[in-house]
Chains A and B, each alone.
Chain A
Amino acid sequence: MTRKAAIVGGNRIPFARSGSAYARASNQDMLTATLDGLVARFGLQGVQLGEVVAGAVLKHSRDFNLTRESVLGSQLAARTPAYDVQQACGTGLEAAVLVANKIALGQIESGIAGGVDTTSDAPLAVNDDLRRVLLQVASARTVQQRLKALAGLRPGQVVPDLPRNAEPRTGLSMGEHAAVTARQWEIGRAEQDELAVASHRNLAAAYDRGFFDDLVTPYLGLTRDENLRPDSNVEKLAALGPVFGGEDGTMTAGNSTPLSDGASAVLLASDEWAAARDLPVLAHLVDAQTAAVDHVHGGEGLLMAPVHATPVLLARNGLSLQDFDFYEIHEAFASTVLATLKAWEDPAFCKEKLGLDVPLGAVDRSKLNVNGSSLAAGHPFAATGGRIVAALAKQLHEAGPGKRGLISICAAGGQGVVAILES
């Protein structure tokens, strides 16, 4: 690599619970508003950037050019190119990696990486049978052919295909997958609840100290993440019944992320581009790694791919797992974070699955998700990466030069993205 891309800053809208404050906002509305907030923060009105890269996991077919359309609706110069990416919950971080790589290669000088998702305005697909009939009607050349095609209509075809939070190849929901992993790694209920409480408390404290003043722009009346419960405690969470893993399951609505709506964006640039505009450099994106597991046939946890990606990334950068000042492990479920930590500490797993003679070891929990994470903030799938990158970059900047942070994000399809930031 020739140079490291700088993270200048970020913006996101507060994350809403599904069907709530943003129930009537589309992905494009939210992404456009988020871009405009970023433009306002950094004075980018009419500025042509190298590229804007973003995506959504749940996307209407009409939004095939979601990011480009959002750019056109924003205050950025209309000549700013854009493209969509999609890597499930890894989308936001992957977008940042893509922009950073082009900056590193000198192909662009600046760019925005982002992501957006709505579970409130999710696309409903037409029932496959109905879709085939309608396509036949559309391609019919004569009235007779058309009538014949229409004769294929049946009452049952009006039932739409609802998007499901399920793995296509296993039929299991993500929560059920996580529950299998939690049981496999013997992750207890109490420690999951404790992690959730810490997430809420850390996020609330970060809001209270003004940490998000230049990271979040209110939207549609929402000024903080709707899911945030500053007074969350273990006793309250202990009262909740399990939602995944059967009757004796440990995973509840309190220690799993809720369906949520929101968007995020991160401004990346070369150091020179930032300096020429008197913009800050919070941190640099040093390196990143993706990995995937075979959760279908391999008996591996659906959300455990970051466990595999991390040692590869560490080795390439000559770092140990303990060489970080902050860790951001996406809280898809509290149990996912805990299983990840446990796997890195497990000699047998590290040897057999990761091929390491010595386990990666323990992570200092006081450095983990210090400003809260998805359990408290919510998790609009593609928006999580941008939330984490911007907040970690700011945290590292506040801590001073030379500080290092590790990001780990698990994604549907048995994938994972990890990255290193350094101030």
Chain B
Amino acid sequence: MTQPIPEDDLIVSDWYRDFTNSGVGATLTKRLGLPRPAVLRRHEPGAPLLPGPAVVGTAGEGRLRDPLTAVLKDAGVTLLSPVTADGGTDGERTAAVLLDATGLRTPADLAAAHDFLAPALRRLAPSGRVLVLAEPPSEAADPAQAAARQALEGLVRSTAKELRGGATANLLLVPDGAEGGLAGPVRFFLSGRSAYVDGQVVTLTAAGATDGQDDDRPLAGKVAVVTGAARGIGAAIARVLARDGAHVVVVDLPAAGQALAGVANEVGGTALQLDITAPDAPERLVGHLRERHGGVDVVVHNAGITRDKLLVNMDAARWNAVMAVNLQAQLDLTQALLDADGLLRPGGRVVCVSSQSGIAGNRGQTNYAASKAGVIGMVRAWAPALAERGATINAVAPGFIVTEMTARMPFGTREIGSRINSLQQGGLPVDVAETVAWLAQPESTGVNGQVVRVCGQSFLGA
């Protein structure tokens, strides 16, 4: 009577994915050429970074081959020598294919990328990972180099759409001087933590090397705050942050207090009932964190509401409520935390939940999409100031995530919504949570001002 409903019970099972992975279903859907969503590899504490070996190739004379190899060896990954185009398909399947393309000078060099990737992808295992590392086009020496670097984005995004079996492809842009921050992002993109992150481009910034971290408990000793944590994605974020070692202060509306207490007790954290739109909310949050914890390391702005209506029919109340919770509260709380002397500890992490709607727009969601696009603007604008404190601020933009909310959608809408992405299935709250937790890690110090979509490479606003 007092326990919250377990998250799993709320999630509508993906009957279609289960069907296509059953004996009869597999044969049938294959014959009919229907989409065949895979069971994704997700992070399990204690499991190796990759379930199989990796292969590292280069296009041009790159500078990341050695640091990359070091990261993989540190993580206990077995490296295979690159296969050539005629290497055949026998031999062991690879769990990850990494391409160092930092040596690109002209579009002609891209042929080497093709030469390496084509045979390597044939041998990619289910839930395999393709990670291309390059330098930002904006920092190219000349137009030809910029063109070659930009070309990679088309290559990676298309590769991601071609991959099957739960495999993903992502592009990591590493400017000169950002090598020190390589380890965390590389591990994330190879791990099960990035199961639903596909076709994304993340740009690192120059940052000092970190002291390293225990990859099973990277947040040990940290204090994290998660708003909107009573259920759904917020509760999943609290669980993952706690699993990674953080003490989590879960925040939600007083009316959601029973579920909130359940989450707090489940993760061994503390519950703070607070309406984040109240005028004194920033003051109360700051006071609570100072009194009870002396500071905070990780702040996750997850609380969000929808009040959908076509713009022409939308009243002021709907518009204002969404803006107040989804955008203004994030601004006010962040400002208060930055203003409170020393409260956001060195190495602080602010992670803001945006949305696919904020990137692609969505009919009936002008207010919601505006608020979520606003979050992206806020994150980018604040990034330099946080970098000066040794902190970061980033956004995650979830796509179709299977929650209580989507469970209430009409069947057709839900089915279409969950299939229109490269992984052909909806994501889970834990997928968003894993990305948030990654951005919160000490070793994510080089990731700042970024917007990471957790959408399985959704076709919307890609």
Contacts and interface: CB of A to CB of B under 8 A. Distances in A.
Interface of A: 25, 29, 32-33, 36-37, 39-43, 45-46, 75, 210, 212-214, 216-220, 223, 278-280
A218 B268 contact: no
A48 to B, nearest CB: 15
B267 to A, nearest CB: 9
Contact of B294 (A39, A75, A278, A279): A278
A25 B294 CA distance: 39
A69 to B, nearest CB: 13
A280 B291 CA distance: 7
Given A33-B2, A36-B265, A41 B254 contact: no
B2 A216 contact: no
Contact of A218 (B254, B280, B292): B254
B1 A45 contact: no
Interface string B265-303: 100111111110010100010000001111000000000
B261 A36 contact: yes
A40 B254 contact: no
Nearest to A219: B258
A40 B292 contact: no
Contacts of B265: 36, 39-40, 45, 75
Contacts of B97: none
A29 B2 contact: yes
A198 B208 CA distance: 62
A218 B293 contact: no
A33 B1 contact: yes
B53 to A, nearest CB: 41
A37 B278 CA distance: 22
Nearest to B271: A40
Contacts of B273: 213-214, 217
A96 to B, nearest CB: 22
Interface string B238-271: 0000000001000000111110111011001111
Given A43-B264, A279-B292, 4 more contacts: A25-B1, A40-B260, A41-B264, A220-B258
A210 B270 contact: no
Nearest to B258: A218
- Nearest 6 A/B pairs, CB to CB: A40-B261, A40-B264, A40-B271, A33-B2, A217-B257, A43-B270
Given A217-B273, A279-B292, A210 B254 contact: yes
A218 B257 contact: yes
19 contacts: A33-B2, A33-B258, A36-B265, A41-B261, A43-B264, A45-B265, A45-B268, A46-B268, A210-B254, A210-B274, A210-B284, A216-B254, A217-B258, A218-B254, A218-B257, A219-B2, A219-B258, A278-B293, A280-B292
A29 B1 contact: yes
> Which residue of A46, A213, A223 has the most chain B CB atoms within 10 A of its CB atom?
A213
A46 B266 CA distance: 11
A218 B2 contact: no
Contact of B254 (A25, A33, A219, A223): A223
> Which residue of B260, B268, B271, B278 has the most chain A CB atoms within 10 A of its CB atom?
B271
Contacts of A29: 1-2
Nearest to B254: A213
A82 B172 CA distance: 57
Nearest to B270: A43
Nearest to A277: B292
Contacts of B1: 25, 29, 33, 220
B270 A42 contact: yes
Contacts of B260: 40
Nearest to A43: B270
B256 A218 contact: yes
Contacts of B261: 36-37, 39-41, 217
A222 to B, nearest CB: 9
A37 B258 CA distance: 7
Contacts of B268: 43, 45-46
A20 to B, nearest CB: 16
A217 B268 CA distance: 17
A46 B268 CA distance: 9
Nearest to A41: B271
Nearest to B294: A278
Contacts of B257: 37, 216-218, 223
B270 A213 contact: no
Contacts of B254: 210, 212-213, 216, 218, 223
Contacts of A280: 291-292
Nearest to B292: A278
Contact of B2 (A36, A45, A214, A278): A36
A39 B272 CA distance: 12
A32 B262 CA distance: 12
A115 B2 CA distance: 17
B273 to A, nearest CB: 5
